[in-house]
Structure 1
Amino acid sequence: MLRLVPPLTLLLFLGPVAAGLIGTLLPAFGYLPVLGLRVEPLEPWRALFAYPGLGAALRLTLTSGLLATLISFLLAVGLCAAFHEARWFARLRGLLAPLLALPHAALAIGFAFLIAPSGWLARLASPWLTGWERPPDIAIVADPQGLALTAALVMKETPFLLLMILAALNQVPADRLLRVARALGYGASMAWLKAVLPLVHRQIRLPLYAVLAYALSTVDMAIVLAPGTPPPLSVLVLRWFSDPDLSMRFQGAAGAVGLCLIVILAIALCRLLEAGIARVGRTWAAGGARGAGPAGRAPGLLAGGVGALALGLSVLSVAGLALWSVAAAWRYPEALPQTLTLAGWMRQAPALGVPLSTTLWVGLAATGLALLLVLGCLEQEQRQGRALSPRGLWLLYLPLLAPQVGFLFGAQVLLVWAGLDGTALALVWSHLLFTLPYLFLALADPYRALDERYARAARCLGAGPLRVFAQVTLPILLKPALIAAAIGFAVSVGQYLPTLFAGAGRYMTLTTEAVSLAAGADRRVVGIYAFLQGALPFLGFSLALLLPALLYRRRAGLKGAL
């Protein structure tokens, strides 16, 4: 039966994604059979290119997406090169988990509260530094250049890339290479860049492409931080798909296919740049520059300073959400609220019940199902002695590389045809598409690193495969499995578009409510929803760390097995 788990996973995972892409491609060329609509094949594209704000939307999409990806990559690499010898760097992975757990929408809302003309930063500096007695008339949030969106994407994606680099370091002989490079007189940063980065980059290529795809196609962060006239292309496509005029679905499908093409071209361009930089890099690496002086440490120190600034802004964004959720009166330019109260939480408690319960049961169901599938796939992989191939890894990343708006509409068409649109099953499946890849990536390395002698000893004592898995493998891997489940739950909590499309507007979650309220509601109300949305993943990570300690507090030998 275990042999059926990998093909079942592919069926649940990739089949509907491929069908969703086809379901978006057909209306992009004038055919929408589920609604019985048909237009001339090139009419959707003519309508798309005739849209007056398309050029500005494309410019905003490309500049924010490409710039955020480049800065995030340079920061992650710079931090590793500059501080890989520091003692605290070895413990950095545990510190990054809370930042990764914070949903994109919650970070965007908190960042908007932080940098707005009447935001917390302006209050902290006014009027003693700025002289502002009233909020200035400056377009900081939703600025025409998309700088606020770019900054928020950098704050969110830099920890992810940094964590991927830290995981990749376990798969290359980094320590040996660094010792040889240092013995040849290279500085710490230069040694890491010349000896380790070329090997690490092969391991993080797919995560980098996933960051690029998300930055080019983000919707929830763009709704909060990007300009609205016109917005980025992803938000435009969502508007067209949501228009009461059903004929706008054709234009929306053309826009979604166009966004997919943009992502494909951006990834191809990134791959070409990698090849070009590799040729130049060989000459640079053989040039002999040691980088042992102050000039060699300057780039790393710059990356460390910018990285610390991004980390500080992320912490302040979360703190700002917490303050606004309990603020009774907070008038500009006061740095802190006059009084703190839970009255806002009490008023919103009845309205919070439905979104909170929906967020919990969908997240738990999607995470539980993803965990079962991942454990089955990894156990079958161990029994066959064959790891996931590079082609399989590409398939695993497919939902992360394809723009959500590019295939979720087509998947919704498939759900309508199957009579599952707006059902709980469809909603859980849509979240499963995104929780499963992250959960697999988080659990695969600990599972493969498990010493097989434990299972061999159990089999020698007469235990069957199922008993070995249940009584040996799972207890040893309980902590990594729970941490992976916490990551999957955090991913589910942050899903915005899958909830809209698969839920057909029938299900409210904390994410959908927070994004919809962010445009003009009371900051106290928005702060409550966004803070609660961010608190749930933190609760999940806390339980993932506490439960193994409580369950196995009398089994100290497990610490050595992990």
Structure 2
Amino acid sequence: MTTRPDVLRAAPALTLALFLVPIGAGLLGTLAPAFGVLPAIGESGFTLDAWRTLAEQPGIDASIRLTLTSGLLSTALALVFACGFAALASSRPGIARLERALAPLLATPHVAVAIGLAFLVASSGLLVRVVSPWLTGWERPPALAIVRDPYGLSYVAGLAIKETAFLVLMVLAAQGQVRAAQALAAARALGYAPLVAWAKVVLPAIYRQIRLPVYAVLAFSLSNVEVALVLAPGTPPPLAVLAMRWFSSWDLSLYPVAAAAATLQLAVVVAGIGAWRVAEAFVKRIHRAWCERGRRTGLAGPVLALGGAGGVVSGVAILAAIGVMALWSIAENWRYPDALPRALSLRTWERALPTMSDLVSTTAAIAAAASLLAVILALACLENEARRDLKPGARALWLLYVPLLVPQIAFLFGAQVALVRLDLDGTLTAVIWAHLLFVLPYVFLSLADPFRALDPRYARIAAGLGASPWRTFFTVKLPMLARPVATAFAVGFSVSVALYLPTLFAGAGRIMTLTTEAVTLSSGADRRVVGVTAFLQAALPLLVYAAALAGPGLIAARRRRVTLREGTP
């Protein structure tokens, strides 16, 4: 009797342990110093000194306020944009093509979008140059704090623009599971306007399915660091940035304060999700009352129309951000107020190529390794689920979302302490493992629906012909799932490329990727070099997405040609 089925049976437990155990250990490693427990230096007495020091920090209340307002507002905007766009698109054909068109927007890392937006909307950015001086009269860049403004508006816009594409994909996927077209047709037959019909019959049905993705977006918006370093105000910055600065300091006495700030960040995320949940109940009551009145029109139509316009603007903004980064990377002489560079050159690329080639290879190697491991683990779990006829419930889905709901800063420091004790700190293995924590949920969610939708009769036919379960998996299921597997790998790759804090903590500053380099350069380096780095960071996952979309079709076409040639007498 072979041991393979036993190995497969252990896959779900191993997969959960790979990210739940480190997150739990990391949280303990962060909570302990926050309350005075410092085993590394022999201190173990419970104390609130770190919290007192944190409360005395100048601007800490403003930092918390900025964190909450920017996170909640950007998530609300992204949700409205996504719902409005999906509502407008639902009455038009080609939804499947639309989902494929979202790939470039999803693949672009947050940092690249943030840097590109800064190039666009800054006081000396492209948008101001296009209308200056002929319309504005500005011969010099105006003294306007557009990027890193004190109210965090550019920060909110950057978060909302990037997260809209993800929520659009979630909404479109949920629509396909609730028979939205039939429900809309019935509502419109009763005289409801198209957008009002969508708000009344589709939105309540899909929101239950997109709730966890919305919470994940909210948790990220409340606790991200990389976008904040580019677009958020710096005096004071959001809470997660403060915690990261203290963790990165050479002064070890700041570690308890940093741990307290990270613990507070966890509490802020929990409070933010709790407040969102309360708002859901409130909006649900209002929505039910509105539906019961039976009005065929209402504010929902204009709101969704504006949201749809916002969704379109978000997509255009991401593409424009990529374009302006590419333009800056080849700009030779681009002085304000020129709308376009006076000369183009590849000189910056030639100078940056030696450094960039190392960064690209390191980034690609980490992303490929983490994504491949995630695909293997996800397929093992799903195959085990199919063989044992398991039906995972909502609790399993919540467990899968844990790495996306817990703020990174709240557990990565504690996880780094564990890596130091295991003598893995600053190694490529540690960085790949840290990336796997965040890549695995996205890969599993990308693969779960296609795998579960696979017709089980194919496996039964193969078994009837004498094929073993493993042979059926490799020769029947995997070829049929080639495109979903390739897409899941591309999703994981793009997630890995975008990760900043996991690389920073697990790599201990010794392993650099395109993302860490782009964040470092964004604070004041030559725009041409920043453009090269950010464009490469955006282009790398796009190339993998393109290969994932085209590769399976080319392989299948080649296989058909070989089959026809071999079958020809």
How many Å apart are 1:36 and its aligned residue?
3.6
Show the counterpart of 1:450: 454
Residue 157 (str. 1) matches residue 173 (str. 2): no
Q: Which amino acid aligns with 1:136?
A: P
The residue correspondences of 1:276-295 to structure 2 (distance < 5 A) are: 276-291=282-297
CA-CA distance at 1:296 after TM superposition: 6.5
1:267-312 CA deviation, whole Å, 9 max, x = no partner?
A: 11111221222222211111111129xx774333322222222222
1:342-421 map, 5 Å: 342-421=346-425
Query: Which residue is equivalent to 2:564?
Result: none
Q: Which amino acid is 1:279 matched to?
A: R
> Among 532, 536, 540, which residue is 2:544 paired with?
540
SS at match of 1:505: coil
Residue 392 of structure 2 aligns with an amino acid whose one-letter code is L
Among 201, 219, 224, the residue aligned to 1:213:
219
> Which letter maps to 2:134?
W
TM-score by length of 1: 0.96
Q: 1:127 aligns with which of 126, 130, 133?
A: 133
What RMSD over aligned residues (CA atoms) do the two structures have, in Å? 1.5
Whether the 8 Å contact between 2:184 and 2:198 is mirrored in structure 1 is yes
- 1:157-236 matches, cutoff 5 A: 157-236=163-242
- The residue type equivalent to 1:324 in the other structure is W
Give the SS at the match of 1:204. Answer: helix
Equivalent AA in structure 2 for residue 123 of structure 1: R
1:331 to 332, 335, 342: 335
Which residue of 41, 52, 55 corresponds with 1:49? 55
8 Å CA contact retained: 2:81, 2:309? no
Q: Using the TM superposition, give the Cα deviation of residue 176 of structure 1 relative to its aligned residue in structure 2, in angstroms.
A: 2.7
Q: Which residue of 2 aligns with 1:560?
A: none
* Distance in 1 separating the partners of 2:421 and 2:404: 25
Amino acid at match of 1:422: G
**SS in structure 2 of the partner of residue 552 of structure 1:** helix
Matches of 1:131 and 1:162 in 2, distance apart?
A: 39
Residues paired across the two proteins, number: 555
Aligned to 2:566: none
Task: Describe the shift of the 1:496–1:301 C-alpha distance in structure 2 as closer, same or farther (beyond 3 A).
Answer: same
| Alignment correspondent of 2:308 | 304
What corresponds to 2:485 in structure 1? 481
2:507 alignment counterpart: 503
2:553 to 546, 549, 556: 549
CA distance in 2, matches of 1:329, 1:374: 49
Distance in 2 (alpha carbons) for counterparts of 1:490 and 1:338 = 34
Shift, 1:206, TM fit: 0.4
Decide whether the 8 Å contact of 1:354 with 1:508 is kept in 2.
no
In structure 2, the residue matched to 1:471 is 475
* Matches of 2:134 and 2:19, distance apart in 1: 56
Partner residue in 2 for 1:9: 15
Structure 2 residue 114 is matched with structure 1 residue 70: no
Give the C-alpha shift of residue 186 in structure 1: 1.5
- The residue identity in structure 1 corresponding to 2:103 is A
* Pairwise CA distance, 1:404: 0.5
Contact residue 408 and residue 501 of structure 2 kept, 8 A: yes
What is the letter of the counterpart of residue 128 of structure 2?
A
Partner of 2:143: 137
The worse-fitting range, judged by mean Cα deviation, of 352-361 and 491-500 is: 352-361
Q: In the superposition, relative to structure 1, how do residues 522 and 480 fare at CA in structure 2: closer, same or farther (>3 Å)?
A: same
Deviation for aligned residue 1:241:
0.4
Contact 1:222 1:231 in 2 (8 A): yes
Instruction: Tell me if structure 2 keeps the 8 A contact 1:34–1:416.
Output: no
Counterpart secondary structure, 2:144: coil
8 Å contact kept, 1:34–1:417:
no
Change (3 A) 1:457 1:287: same
Tell me the SS of whatever aligns to 1:87. coil
8 Å CA contact 2:83–2:308 kept in 1: the answer is no
Distance 1:544 1:80 in 2: 25
Q: What amino acid sits opposite 1:243 in the alignment?
A: S
Match of 1:104 among 92, 100, 110: 110
- The AA in structure 2 aligned to 1:225 is L
Q: Which amino acid aligns with 1:59?
A: R
Contact 2:427–2:511 (8 Å) recurs in 1? no
User: What displacement does 1:247 show?
Assistant: 1.2
Q: 1:276 to 1:372 in 2, by over 3 A?
A: same
Q: 1:223 offset after TM fit, Å?
A: 0.3
Rounded Cα–Cα distance in structure 2 between residues aligned with 1:159 and 1:72 = 8
Note the alpha carbon deviations across 1:332-362, whole angstroms, 9 max, x for none.
1111111111111110111113222210111
One-letter amino acid matched to 2:517: E
- Aligned in 2, Cα 1:127/1:38: closer, same or farther, shift over 3 Å? farther
Contiguous gaps of at least 5 residues in structure 2: 1-6, 562-569
Structure 1 residue 2: Cα displacement: 0.7
Q: Which residue of 2 aligns with 1:521?
A: 525
CA contact (8 A) 2:332 2:343 kept: yes
Checking the alignment, whether the CA contact within 8 Å between 2:84 and 2:309 is kept in structure 1 is: no
Give the partner amino acid of 1:12.
L
Aligned mate of 1:430, from 434, 437, 447: 434
- The unaligned stretches of length 5 or more in structure 1 are 558-562
